[in-house]
Amino acid sequence: MDTFVCGKCGYVAFGSPPDVCPVCGAKKEAFEMDNTAIKRPVDSKNLNELEKKHIPQIKITKTCDLVGSGYVDANIKIGEILHPMETKHYIMYMDIYLDRAFIGRYHLTPEKLNPVLGIHLKVNSGKLLVLENCNLHGHWVSEVEI
Ligand SMILES: [Fe+2]
């Protein structure tokens, strides 16, 4: 599946560019196809340290009852080895997709936050994809079945 990157905010669209960027409002013309925009592990069964620090870890929890039953929580942590959150090197944002459709962005700042996120979904099926952007090492993704 082709990936298109917004030249203004870094948002990545799967399949085709949107008419308007859902994150920053840029027009379709601001998008460029870039199928190398997302970093992939060289060998997914034998990750190197850079990969261990960047590939999102996603844990689905089906027991949350904050908003009634039948919904799903997802806990996300960047890196099997927790990624640094220092001024010079940190996770800038996490974008969340359901079945490759964008549903939200979480912006992070360095120093006071760990690169983790808890979200509560209004659905209980589909594929949850998390795309993170490291200021030095770019975009990395994980996708899991809910
Ligand atoms: Fe990094």
Q: What is the pLDDT of residues 76-101, one digit of tens each?
A: 999 999 999 999 999 999 999 999 99
Distance 133 CA to ligand 1 centre (A): 8
Predicted confidence (pLDDT) per residue in 110-136, tens digit: 999 999 999 999 888 999 999 999 999
Domain range annotation of the chain: 1-36, 47-145
Answer positive or negative: Cα dihedral of 79, 80, 81, 82: positive
Distance 137 CA to ligand 1 centre (A): 5
State the fold for domain 47-145. Answer: Immunoglobulin-like (2.60.40)
Stated pTM of the model:
0.93
Answer positive or negative: Cα dihedral of 83, 38, 1, 4: positive
Q: Which amino acid is at 66?
A: L
- Residue 64 reports pLDDT greater than 80: no
Q: How far apart are the first and last CA of the chain?
A: 21
pLDDT at residue 20 in the model: 98
- Residue 108 reports pLDDT greater than 80: yes
Reference 71, options 98, 93, 95, 94; nearest CA is 98
User: Among residues of the chain, what percentage have pLDDT more than 70?
Assistant: 99
Distance 91 CA to ligand 1 centre (A): 7
Indicate the class that CATH gives domain 1-36.
Answer: mainly beta
Distance 93 CA to ligand 1 centre (A): 12
Residues with CB under 5 A from ligand 1 (ion): 134, 136-137
